Structure 1
C-alpha cells in the first residue's frame, strides 16, 4: 500500500476518499447542457471531459460547500466562463481527432 508507513494521527486512508477536483462535476454539468440535443456515447463524453479537465487548473477540495462559501460572485462567474471555454475547445478537439481517424 502506498501510504502504509504514513502516520495518519487518528485518520485513515479512506479519509482521502472525499478529496476531488472541484471542476469535475461542473464540467459534466456543462457537457450535459451543451450536448443535450446531441447523440453521443459515454466514450465521447469521457474523452471530452478529460480534455476539458486537463485544460483547467486543478482545484482539489474535500467539500463543495467550502469552495462555494469562499468564492465571490465574480470568481464564480470567471470559473463558469473558464469551464464553458474549456468544454467548447475540448469538443472541437475531440471532434477534429475523431474525424481524422
Structure 2
C-alpha cells in the first residue's frame, strides 16, 4: 500500500504564504522551517490524498476562510520567530 499521496492540506498553503510574503524578512532556512511548523500547529489537520479533492468540494466562503486562517497562522508564527530572534540578539549582546 502506497501512502505517498497522503498529506496535510494546509502544508502547501502555509509554505506558499511564507514564500510569497516572508522570504524578504531576512530569516534563515531554520527560522522559515520553524515558522512553518508553528503555523501548521495552529491550524486543524486536514489530511487528504489530492488537493483538487479538497478544493472541489469547498464553497467560496470556505476557500476564503481557509486563506484567512493560513494568513493569520503564518503572521503569528512570524511574530513568534521574530521575538525569539530579538531575544537571542539581546542575550548575545550581554
- TM-score > 0.5 by shorter chain: yes
Q: TM-score of the superposition, structure 1-length normalised?
A: 0.82
Stretches of 4+ moved more than 2 A in 1? 36-40
- Which residue of 1 is the match for residue 36 of structure 2? 49
The root-mean-square deviation of aligned C-alpha atoms, in Å, is 1.0
- Which residue of 1 is the match for residue 11 of structure 2? 24
Q: TM-score of the superposition, structure 2-length normalised?
A: 0.88
- What whole-Å deviation, never above 9, does each CA across 1:43-67 have from its counterpart, x for those lacking one? 1110100000000000000000100
Distance 2:17 2:5 in 1: 22
Larger radius of gyration: 1
- Which residue of 2 is the match for residue 4 of structure 1? none
User: Which structure's residues are more often helix, by fraction?
Assistant: 2
- Which residue of 2 is the match for residue 33 of structure 1? 20
Length, aligned pairs only: 88
Distance 2:40 2:70 in 1: 9
| Unmatched runs of 5 consecutive residues or more in structure 1 | 1-11
Distance 1:48 1:55 in 2: 11
Tell me how far 1:87 sits from its aligned partner: 0.3
| Unmatched runs of 5 consecutive residues or more in structure 2 | 89-94
- Which residue of 2 is the match for residue 7 of structure 1? none
